[in-house]
Amino acid sequence: MDIHAYLIFLTTTTIVCMSPGPAVITIASQGARHGAKKALFGVTGVASANVVYFLLSATGIASLLVASNLVFSIIKWVGVAYLVYLGLNALFSKSGGLRINKSTSSNTKGVALFSQGFIVELANPKALLYFLALLPQFIDVEKPILLQLFIMGASCLVVDLLSYTMYAYIGQKLSSGSVKASIVNLINKSAGGFLLFAGIKMAAVSSNV
């Protein structure tokens, strides 16, 4: 993989990571409620899920998962159900999608935040399809494949950690009091609507994509 191909890969991955999605909403919510530092557990969870998908894609297992309608459907519908739950919670709970009440932050363990980030991302089959479709496009078969996969995998991990950490701090900023309550409420409702929309879109995802 030459430098030009690598830069295209890196740019594409960065844009995808920075685009608003279920994981972004989750991490921003954690940052708003628990602070950016504690939300790093959630960031690590999202990044870990992407590492799993990257390894599955790199080893070819992803092709088998996509080929198995049953396994793919299980992953998809678990993700749909969880996103719908998060969306409804954001729309109808008093705290909303981006919770700014920090009174319970000390009672929430890091493993719970990690698990939430991990589940949200792992239950998104589009992440699996993304890596499955992306990796082969940038691998030069005439050069050491393992080295190329290591470079791309490490790059994805760094981009994930940096981008989601940024969203954790954005969430924390929302809870600092510098943003009006009406704006936070609008963000809450928008987050809930987006999560429901993402769930509906995920329901339509096919392994033939």
The confidence score (pLDDT) of residue 208 equals 61
What are 69-103's pLDDT values in tens digits? 777 777 678 767 866 876 787 677 654 555 555 54
More confident: 90 or 30: 30
Determine the distance from the C-alpha atom of residue 168 to the mean position of all C-alpha atoms in its chain, rounded to a whole number: 12
Q: Please report the DSSP string for 57-113 in residue order.
A: HHHTHHHHHHH-HHHHHHHHHHHHHHHHHHHHHHHHSSS-SS----TTGGGS-HHHH
The confidence score (pLDDT) of residue 175 equals 74
What whole-number distance in Å separates Cα of residue 73 and Cα of residue 77? Answer: 6
Cα–Cα nearest to 121, from 21, 41, 29: 21
Question: Mean pLDDT of all residues in the chain?
Answer: 78
What average pLDDT does this structure show over 134-151? Answer: 79
Q: How far apart are the first and last CA of the chain?
A: 25
More confident: 146 or 154: 154
* Burial of residue 67, with CB atoms counted within 10 A of its CB: 0-12 exposed, 13-18 middle, 19 or more buried: exposed
What are 117-132's pLDDT values in tens digits? 999 888 876 677 777 7
Residue 24 has pLDDT above 70, yes or no: yes
- How does DSSP classify residue 20? -
Question: pLDDT category, 149, cuts 50, 70, 90?
Answer: confident
More confident: 77 or 202: 77
Prediction pTM value: 0.71
The confidence score (pLDDT) of residue 202 equals 67
Q: Do the beta carbons of residue 62 and residue 56 sit within 8 Å?
A: yes
The confidence score (pLDDT) of residue 45 equals 95
More confident: 110 or 60: 110
The confidence score (pLDDT) of residue 79 equals 66
In sequence order, what are the residues at sequence separation of 6 or more whose Cβ sits closer than 8 angstroms to the Cβ of residue 103?
A: none
What are 157-194's pLDDT values in tens digits? 999 999 999 989 888 887 776 556 566 667 667 767 87
In b/e form, how buried is each residue of 113-123, taking b as 16+ CB within 10 angstroms? bbebbbbbbbb
What are 47-59's pLDDT values in tens digits? 999 999 888 888 8
